[in-house]
Amino acid sequence: MNMVEIITKKKLGGALSPDEIKYFVDGAATGSVPDYQLAALLMAIRLRGMTAEETTALTLAMLKSGDVADLSAIPGIKVDKHSTGGVGDTTTLILAPLVAACGVPVAKMSGRGLGHTGGTLDKLESIPGLSVSLSEKAFVDQVNRIGLAVIGQTGSLAPADKALYALRDVTATVDSLPLIASSIMSKKLASGADAIVLDVKTGSGAIMHTLEGSLELARAMVAIGALAEKPVTAVITGMAQPLGTHVGNALEVKDAIDVLSGRTKGDLLAVSLLLGSHMLTLAGAAKDPAEAEIQLRRALDSGAGLEKLRQMIGAQGGDPRVCDDLSRLPQPAVRRRVTVGRGGYVDAMDTTALGLAAQAMGAGRLRKTDALDYSVGFILPVRIGDRVERDTELCTLCARSEAEADAAERAIRAAITFSEEPPARPKLWEAVVTADGTRMNET
């Protein structure tokens, strides 16, 4: 067996055997297969797809490429949550402290930005001093001490995913159902959680743009969870526009702090409460999501959620004063307010293009080794369905230079369309998928 044969077979649309899958996955984990061959195979998989059997074999091979975290020293049911990736989508920084404040331990391993989507680790690292690299022991100790830790996948967990994820980010091979399902599920099964909530995005800013594609992805991941005997709830949520009003690493930390402080309501809070309520329910802390949401709202209103975030930032070496003084977050060299320039209604957004605009400003990577500028991105207060006038603020750009602000302004203007009639507002969520079936949002 060799890589050229495996690439050729997939290039011609063949199904790879479990042994062939194990061969390249082990090669990715150990570094024995070079990046250029892995990149070629990833593109062949992106173009030719995989059968359900291949996707399961890929997930298991990636899971077995490393260790499985042992969280048994943390009492209670540990529920993890993972998003397929969105723009302005910083639910983890809101729901993890809220769930922990309700007494359910959150031991969460998160990822970096992927393609046009942001990553929780990059956002957390924008907080001065904060480290996302903890040993497994320090991770478990922190959760037992304060109920919450959010770190990067340790090197020994699903190392094949770590290698392939970084390559996919820079080879335009992110949007592949088998690659997404196996990446997420191998990591989540390796992270040692007892149950998993998946946030599967749908719409123009999601990796899967159509509802059918998102449902297929959700069902594939729920089926893998069932094989591994882990309860999985997948919620399909809207990504027709950025979820929060802020896009960019430090900007999204600010958005999360504004939500936890009660200053900002809106879709980001609503989706965080929705996902958090499924986490509390799977953890057995509430009888159903409605009861769970009451607990989460109490933690929000009392300030207990914000206090948990402060504690976590401090425990991981960061400056907890950012929670009370947002000027301690990285600040951009250039700030520019842009107005809409016409009247009408916000009709639609190309949210992937908005994510790519932030990436081009320096908020995401174009090469594996790119360093990020944590301060850059934009604030986009308008929502689909809003009435706007000439002078309404379209966005505030946070950029490294005037030239980059010019380019971002052009990209953002091109990504948003307006109409004379009010369009329907997008739904916050479309469906909930579990091993028992699919419940569509009929509202």
List active site positions. Answer: 82, 161, 168, 183, 187
Reading the block at residue 73, the tokens are: 């020293």
Query: How far is 329 from 275, CA to CA, in rounded Å?
Result: 27
- Residue written as token pair 């091993």: 435
Q: Across 113-194, where does the E strand assignment appear?
A: 148-152
The two beta strands, 377-379 and 393-399, are: antiparallel
Q: Which residue's CB is nearer to ligand URA, number 89 or number 350?
A: 89
Binding site for ligand URA (CB under 6 A): 84-85, 111, 114, 165, 179-180, 183-184, 187
Shortest gap between Cβ of 128 and ligand URA (angstroms)? Answer: 26
Minimum CB separation of residue 192 from ligand URA in Å reads 16
Q: Which tokens in the block code for residue 35?
A: 């990046």
Do 418 and 346 meet the contact criterion of CB atoms below 8 Å apart? yes
3-state secondary structure of 379: strand
Cα torsion through 24, 116, 132, 310, rounded to 10: -150
Q: Are residues 422 and 403 in contact, defined by beta-carbon separation less than 8 angstroms?
A: no
Q: How far apart are CA 373 and CA 380, in angstroms?
A: 19
Task: Give the shortest CB-207-to-ligand URA separation in angstroms.
Answer: 6
Q: Is the dihedral of CA 336, 390, 240, 295 positive or negative?
A: positive
Residue whose structure tokens are 């957004």: 349
CB-CB contact of 150 with 92 (8 Å): yes
How many CB atoms within 10 Å of residue 227?
A: 12
Cα 340 to Cα 306: distance, rounded to the nearest angstrom: 34
Taking residue 389's Cβ as centre, other Cβ atoms within 10 Å add up to 11
Burial (CB count <10 Å: 0-12, 13-18, 19+), residue 436: exposed
Q: Which residue is nearest to ligand URA (CB)?
A: 183
**Distance (Å, whole) CA 200 – CA 238:** 9
The minimum distance between CB 111 and ligand URA, in angstroms, equals: 5
Task: Kindly report each contact of residues 303-308 with a partner whose C-beta sits within 8 Å and lies 24 or more positions away, as own/partner.
Answer: 303/261, 303/262, 304/101, 305/94, 305/97, 305/98, 305/101, 305/260, 306/97, 306/257, 306/260, 306/261, 307/97, 307/101, 308/96, 308/97, 308/98, 308/100, 308/101, 308/146, 308/147, 308/148
CB of 301 to ligand URA, least distance (A): 32
CB of 373 to ligand URA, least distance (A): 23
Measure the CA–CA gap between 393 and 416, rounded to whole angstroms: 13
Residues forming a β-bridge with 335: 398
